[in-house]
Amino acid sequence: MAAEAALASRARPVIVVTGHARNAVEAALAGLDVETAYNPEYSTGLASSLRVGLSAMPADVAGALVLLGDMPWIDRRLIDAMIDAFLAKEGALAAAPIRGSRRGNPVLLGRGLFEAAARLQGDEGARRLIGALSASELVEVEAPDAGVTIDIDTPADLAAARRPGGRDG
């Protein structure tokens, strides 16, 4: 689960944005050291959840690591590597994992992108913001496997990801 990977990493605080099936999600998180932030506009798309999550961040954080709940194979080592690489690169506005030539998730948005991310609308995540950054503003971190590009939206997605080679492809 994405929340467990975040908790195993050095990312703090861990804030889970809820929306659809709020009660079930909060029940699944019971006993974990996470904060929840409810997005009453969840049906409008990803951008509203991103806004809620970023607005829940403390004012002194350097950035926010945006993990997606439907990407179960994100590992704490990748999260920590992204945080370390972001903090080590002066002038960085974001960090993203890369597998081969393909960027994936999670992404780390520096505080300098929070305002632009808050203006996103609909089902738009940070892809356009990340894509517009120069090489000096974006830190790319090599991902150990294809887990950064696999999201689970349907039972068929889950079955495909469980097949041998489904995660490493």
Higher-confidence residue of 167 and 98: namely 98
Residue 168 within a domain:
no
Is 36 within the bounds of a domain?
Answer: yes
Q: What is the pLDDT of residues 9-28, one digit of tens each?
A: 999 999 999 999 999 999 99
| Residue 33: inside a domain | yes
In a domain, 169, yes or no: no
Single out the residue of 100, 106, 103 nearest to residue 83, CA to CA: 106
CATH code of 90's domain: 3.90.550.10
Asked if 144 and 75 touch (Cβ cutoff 8 Å), the reply is: yes
82, 1, 6, 33: CA torsion to nearest 10: 170
pLDDT tens, 122-168?
888 888 899 999 999 999 999 988 888 777 877 887 777 765 555 55
Q: Which domain holds residue 109?
A: 2-162
In-domain check, residue 112: yes
Q: Do the domain assignments include residue 167?
A: no
Domain contains 106:
yes
Whose tokens are 């505080």? That residue is 111
d(Cα 37, Cα 25) in Å, to the nearest integer? 12
Residue type, 156: A
pLDDT at 87 over 80: yes
Q: How many domains does the chain have?
A: 1
Instruction: Name every residue whose Cβ is closer than 8 Å to that of residue 116 and which is 6 or more positions away in sequence.
Output: 129
Q: Give a yes or no: residue 101 inside a domain.
A: yes
Instruction: Give the predicted TM-score (pTM) of the model.
Output: 0.88
